[in-house]
């Protein structure tokens, strides 16, 4: 959505809920909070094919949105570096015919 309909503002809930496909759980969240989900192929391809300029623009919008929501409590992570790393993983997934997964705890 953020590649196809760029905006600093978070999307309206109706727009967000209508957007498909959503990531799919590979494992449902466990009691300890661990979960794994597969990112949609559409998102994986968008990240894999994104130019440096597109990633910079996306990181800028992401930063602006986080700043407006979290202010001083915003993450200190380098969001552009995060996107660049995920885009490299996505590119590898596309070239090998694999998928892109997220694991969190």
Q: What is the pLDDT of residue 76?
A: 67
- Cα angle, residue 51 at apex, residues 18 and 90 outer, rounded to 5°: 65
- Could you tell me the pTM of the whole model? 0.74
Q: What is the pLDDT of residue 70?
A: 62
Q: What is the pLDDT of residue 1?
A: 61
What gap in Å lies between CA 57 and CA 102, rounded to an integer? 23
Q: What is the pLDDT of residue 79?
A: 84
Which residues does 48 contact at the CB level (< 8 Å), separation at least 6?
A: 87, 90, 91, 93, 94, 95
Instruction: State the DSSP string of 23-92.
Output: PEEEEPPPTTS-EEEEPPHHHHHHHHH--HHHHHHHHHHHHHHHHHHHGGGS--S-HHHHHHHHHHHHHH
Cβ contact 66:83 at 8 Å: no
Q: What is the pLDDT of residue 61?
A: 82
Q: Determine phi and psi for 67, rounding to 5 degrees.
A: -60, -40
What gap in Å lies between CA 91 and CA 69, rounded to an integer? 31
Q: Going from the first residue of the chain to its last (105 residues), give the mean pLDDT of each consecutive group of 10, the final group possibly shorter.
A: 63 73 75 84 91 91 74 71 94 94 81
């Amino acid at each position: 959505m953020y590649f196809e309909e760029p905006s600093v503002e978070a999307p309206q809930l109706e727009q967000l809920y209508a957007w498909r496909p959503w990531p799919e759980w590979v494992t449902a969240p466990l009691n300890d909070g661990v979960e794994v989900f597969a990112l949609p192929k559409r998102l994986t391809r968008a990240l894999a094919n994104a130019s440096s300029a597109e990633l910079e623009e996306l990181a800028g919008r992401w930063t602006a949105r986080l700043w407006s929501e979290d202010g001083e409590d915003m993450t200190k992570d380098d969001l552009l570096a995060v996107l660049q790393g995920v885009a490299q993983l996505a590119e590898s997934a596309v070239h090998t015919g694999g998928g892109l997964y997220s694991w969190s705890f």
